[in-house]
A and B are shown apart, each in its own frame.
Chain A
Amino acid sequence: MVDRPRIRVPAEAKKGEVVEIKTLISHPMETGLRKDADGKLIPKKIINKFTCVFNGKPVFSVDLGQGIAANPYLQFTARVEESGTFRFSWFDDDGTVITADEEIKVT
């Protein structure tokens, strides 16, 4: 089971402010190019997509490849005009989707 992702979103912001968001999720990002001790290829298993949606509106997303380091770290920004909820989703090759929500109060 994957650990809960770590997310940093400011609790409060002024209307129209651009806030910085940092996320990190524990994941090996197995490239599919490495071999185990018996010389067999370890199957590829990565987080291939990340999305950030605010109050149902898409803000930011990433298509990740094998060239992203293990425990993928993503930092980006969002302009907030109203209070609401960020929904973050990580899509694993195996079909698993990990989601997390963070609220922000906009004054």
Chain B
Amino acid sequence: MSERSRREVLAIGAGTAALALLGAPASATPEEAAAAIAAFTGGKPTVAGRIAIDLPEIAENGNTVPLGIKVDSPMTADDHVTDILVLAAANPRVDLAVFHLSPMSGRAEVATRIRLAATENVTVLAKTSKGVILQEQKPVKVTIGGCGG
């Protein structure tokens, strides 16, 4: 994996003292990402679109990257977003957070700050009360990884 080799090169460059201090947590495997998605979707197929992901193109510091998510939904009792899952495939732990919404949310809009280990895709899945599962992703270039690695 290109991220792994890049990290190793950086770690060697930084010297063994830094290596001992920081450690080098491995990124999650594609299987772990697939498992996290399957647990959320229950194996249902996902539909692309209706999710707007607000992330910087380049994050200089992976320790704190602002993330905004907007899902196009009427947010009525009948048709609303119930859950939003955020994944980062190259992080040591792929699942970052799950947001639980209700019709009382009014709008399907959330924001937080995340950690990103390396240049990677951030994937967002949203489940609606109608049983539709939406999926969207956005790449972020990370200059300094934020997972202690």
Contacts and interface: CB of A to CB of B under 8 A. Distances in A.
Contacts of B101: 60, 76
Interface string A6-41: 000000000000110000000000010111010101
B114 A69 contact: yes
A78 B88 contact: no
Given A39-B20, A67-B114, A68-B112, A18 B97 contact: no
B92 A79 contact: no
Q: Is the interface of A mostly helix, strand, loop or mixed?
A: strand
Contacts, number: 116
Interface string A53-91: 010011111111111111011111111000000000000
Contacts of B113: 68-69, 72-73
B65 interface: yes
A34 B19 CA distance: 11
A78 B106 contact: yes
B98 interface: yes
B143 interface: no
